[in-house]
Structure 1
Amino acid sequence: LKIDNFYTATIYEKGSEVIGMLKTLIGAEAFRKGMDLYFDRWDGHATTVEAFIECFAEASGQDLTDFFAWYEQAGTPRLDVRRTYDADAQTLRLDLSQTTPPTPGQASKKPLPIPVRLGLLDGEGRTLAFERDGQATDETVVVLNAAKTSVTLTGVDREPVLSALRGFSAPVVLTTDAAPKDRYVQLAADPDLFNRWEAGQDLARDLMLARSAGTPDEVGEERYAEAVGRALSDQAADPAFKALLLSLPSETELALAQQPADPAAIHLARNALRARLAVHLAEELGRLHTGLQDLGEFSPDAAGAGRRALRNMALEILATDPHAENAERAYGHYEAAGNMTDAMGGLSALMQIGGEPFEKALADFYERWKGEPLVIDKWFALQARAPDEGALGRVLGLTAHPAFDAKNPNRLRALVGTFAAGNPARFHDPSGAGYQFLADQILMVDGYNPMTAARLLEPLGGWRRYRPDLGALMRGQLERIVAQPSLSKNVYELASRALAED
Structure 2
Amino acid sequence: MSDSSSHQDSASQEQAPQQEVQVHYRSDYRPYPYDIESVYLAFDLAPNATVVDTTLTIQRKADVASNEPLRLDGVDLELLSIAIDGEELGQEGYRSFDDGLEVLNPPKRFTLTTKVKISPDTNTSLEGLYLSSGKYCTQCEAEGFRKITFYPDRPDVMSTFTVRIEADAEQFPHLLSNGNRIEHGDLETGKHFAVWEDPFKKPSYLFALCAGDYDLLTSSFTTMTGRDVRLEIYVDKGKLDQCHHAMESLKKAMKWDEEVFGLEYDLDIYMIVAVGDFNMGAMENKGLNIFNTKYVLASQDTATDTDFIDVEAVIGHEYFHNWTGNRVTCRDWFQLSLKEGLTVFRDQEFTADQTDHGVKRIEDVKVIRSHQFAEDAGPMAHPIRPDSYIEMNNFYTVTVYNKGAEIIRMYQTLLGRDGFKRGLDVYFERHDGQAVTCEDFVRAMEDANHYDLKQFRRWYSQAGTPEVEVTSQYEADKRQLRLHLKQSCPATPGQEEKEPFHIPVKIGLIDELGNDIELKALPVSESDARVEGDIVHLMAGEQSVTFDEVPEKHIPSILRGFSAPVKLRYDYSLSDLIFLFAHDSDSFNRWQAGQELFSRVIFDLCEQLSDGIELSFDESVINAAKNLLDDSGLDGQFKSLALTIPGVSTLIEQVDSINIDHLITARQFLKRRLAEELELDWLLHYQTNHHIGDFEQDKGSVAKRAIAGTCLCYLMALEKDDAYQLALKQLNNANNMTDASTALQLIVHSNYSEKMKVAEAFYQKWQNEELVVNKWLAIMATDPSDETIDRIESLLDHPSFELKNPNKVRSLIGAFTGANPSQFHRADGRGYEYLARQIKALYAINPQVSARLTGAFNRWRKFDSERQLKMQQQLQEILSMPELSKDVYEIASKALK
Aligned with residue 483 of structure 1, among 880, 885, 897? 880
User: Structure 1: how far apart are the matches of 2:618 and 2:716?
Assistant: 18
Measure the CA separation in 1 of the matches of 2:722 and 2:420. 54
* 1:202 to 2:596 alignment: yes
1:66 aligns with 2:455: yes
More strand as a share of residues: 2
Q: Which residue of 2 aligns with 1:92?
A: 481
CA–CA separation in structure 1 for the residues paired with 2:420 and 2:655: 39
Residue in 1 that maps onto 2:577: 183
How big is each residue's C-alpha offset from its partner over 1:189-223, in whole Å with a ceiling of 9 and x where there is no partner? 10001000001101111111221233579663532
Deviates more, 1:257-266 or 1:418-427: 257-266
Q: Tell me whether 1:292 sits opposite 2:689 in the alignment.
A: yes
For the aligned residues, what is the CA RMSD? Answer: 1.7
**1:157 deviation in Å?**
2.0
8 Å Cα contact 2:522/2:545 also seen in 1: no
TM-score normalised to the size of structure 2? 0.54
For 1:157 and 1:436, the matched residues in 2 are separated by 59
Task: Determine if the alignment matches structure 1 residue 159 to structure 2 residue 553.
Answer: yes
Contact 2:420 2:445 in 1 (8 A): yes
2:98 aligns with: none
**Per the alignment, in what secondary structure is the counterpart of residue 457 of structure 1?**
helix
What secondary structure does 1:83 align onto?
Answer: strand
Q: For the Cα contact (< 8 Å) 1:428–1:470, is it kept in 2?
A: yes
SS at 1:80 equivalent: strand
Cα distance in 2 between the residues matched to 1:218 and 1:189: 29
1-structure distance, mates of 2:564, 2:489: 14
How far off its partner does 1:328 sit? 1.2
The answer (yes or no) to whether the contact 1:380–1:414 under 8 Å persists in 2 is yes
Residues 562 and 588 in structure 2, CA contact (< 8 A), matched pair in contact too: yes
Query: Structure 1, residues 164-200: CA drift from partner, whole Å, max 9, x if none?
Result: 0000000000001222211111001100010000011
Partner Cα distance (1:205, 1:387) in 2? 21
Q: Distance in 1 between matches of 2:602 and 2:650?
A: 11
Shift in Å, 1:138: 12
Contact preservation (8 Å) 2:608, 2:615: no
1:28-58 superposed Cα distances (whole Å, 9 cap, x missing partner): 2111111222223323332211111111111
Specify the SS of the correspondent of 2:617: helix
Distance change >3 Å, CA 252–CA 171, structure 1 → 2:
same
- Hey, what does 1:324 align to over in structure 2? 721
> Is the partner of 1:299 in helix, strand or coil?
coil
Deviation at 1:356, TM superposition (A): 4.1
- Aligned pair 1:436/2:825, yes or no? no
- Tell me the CA shift for residue 423 of structure 1: 0.6
What is the one-letter code of the residue matched to 2:579? V
Structure 2 unaligned residues grouped into runs of 5+: 1-389, 524-530
Secondary structure at the aligned position of 1:442 is classed as: helix
Encode CA deviations 1:254-282: one digit per residue, 9 max, x unaligned. 22224432222211111111111111111
1:34 is aligned with what amino acid?
Answer: G
Contact 1:77/1:98 (<8 A) preserved = yes
Q: Which has the higher helix share?
A: 1
AA aligned opposite 1:55? A
- Equivalent residue number for residue 49 of structure 1: 438
2:506 to 105, 117, 120: 117
User: Equivalent residues in 2 for 1:67-82 (5 A)?
Assistant: 67-82=456-471
| Contact 2:410/2:563 (8 A) holds in 1 | yes
Post-superposition CA distance 1:226-279 (Å, at most 9, x none): 101101111110010000012111112222224432222211111111111111
* Gap change, CA 1:179 and 1:352, over 3 Å in 2: same
Distance, in Å, in 1 between the alignment partners of 2:537 and 2:452 is 14
Q: Work out the percentage of aligned pairs sharing the same amino acid.
A: 36
1:235 match:
632
The whole-number CA distance in structure 2 between the counterparts of 1:296 and 1:323 is 27
Structure 2 residue corresponding to 1:193, chosen from 559, 563, 587: 587
CA contact (8 A) 1:221 1:276 kept: no
Are 2:405 and 1:16 equivalent residues in the alignment? yes
Asked whether the 8 Å contact 2:675–2:718 carries over to 1, the reply is yes
Distance in 2 (CA, whole Å) between partners of 1:307 and 1:217 is 37
Aligned equivalents of 2:466, 2:534: Cα separation in 1: 21
- Asked whether the 8 Å contact 1:320–1:352 carries over to 2, the reply is no
In 1, Cα distance between the equivalents of 2:433 and 2:832? Answer: 46
SS of the residue corresponding to residue 536 of structure 2 reads: strand
Name the TM-score, length of structure 1 as normaliser. Answer: 0.96
Structure 1 residue ranges without an equivalent (≥5): none
Contact residue 748 and residue 759 of structure 2 kept, 8 A: no
Task: Give secondary structure in 2 for the equivalent of 1:171.
Answer: coil
Cα distance in 1 between the residues matched to 2:562 and 2:637:
19
The Cα shift of 1:285 comes to 0.9
Aligned equivalents of 1:265, 1:344: Cα separation in 2: 29
Contact 2:719–2:751 (8 Å) recurs in 1: no
Q: Which residue of 1 aligns with 2:543?
A: 149
Query: What is the match of residue 127 of structure 1?
Result: 516
Deviates more, 1:105-114 or 1:304-313: 304-313
For 1:168, the aligned partner's letter is: F
Report deviation, 1:8: 1.2
Measured in 2, the distance between the counterparts of 1:318 and 1:36 equals: 52
- The code of the aligned residue for 1:231 comes to L
DSSP-derived class of the 1:220 partner = coil
Offset at 1:296? 2.8
Partner of 1:172: 566
Residue 225 (str. 1) matches residue 622 (str. 2): yes
- Aligned equivalents of 2:688, 2:572: Cα separation in 1: 37
Q: Please state how far the C-alpha of 1:141 moved relative to its aligned partner.
A: 0.6
> Could you tell me how far apart the structure 1 residues matched to 2:416 and 2:837 are?
51
Q: Is the 8 A contact 2:479 2:552 kept in 1?
A: yes
Give the Cα separation in 1 of the matches to 2:666 and 2:427: 49
Equivalent residue in structure 1 for 2:741, among 344, 348, 361: 344
- Contact 1:319–1:327 (CA under 8 A) maintained in structure 2: yes
Residue identity opposite 1:58 in structure 2: D
> Is the CA contact (8 Å cut-off) linking 1:114 and 1:170 kept in structure 2?
yes
Per-residue deviation, 1:385: 0.7
> Residues of 2 paired with 1:357 and 1:87: CA distance?
64
Q: How big is the shift at 1:133?
A: 4.0
> Deviations along 1:468-490, whole A, 9 cap, x unmatched?
11101101111111112211111
- Give the match's secondary structure for 1:406: coil
In structure 2, what is the Cα distance between the partners aligned to 1:75 and 1:258? 15
Alpha-carbon distance, 1:139 to partner: 6.2
Q: How does 1:461-472 map to 2 (within 5 A)?
A: 461-472=858-869
CA contact 1:119–1:138 (8 Å) conserved in 2: no
Q: Which has the larger radius of gyration?
A: 2
Alpha-carbon offset, residue 408 of structure 1: 0.4
Give, as a single letter, the amino acid of the residue that structure 2 aligns with 1:61. Answer: H
Q: Which amino acid aligns with 1:300?
A: Q
Offset from partner CA, 1:90-128 (integer Å, 9 cap, x none): 000010110000111000100000000111112342322
Residue 426 of structure 2 aligns with which residue? Answer: 37
CA contact (8 A) 2:410 2:504 kept: yes
Instruction: Look up the SS of the partner of 1:181 in the other structure.
Output: helix
- Correspondence 1:255 to 2:644: no
**Contact 1:221 1:273 survives alignment (8 Å):** no
Q: Do structure 1's residue 373 and structure 2's residue 767 form an aligned pair? A: no
- 2:873, 2:852 → 1: CA distance? 19
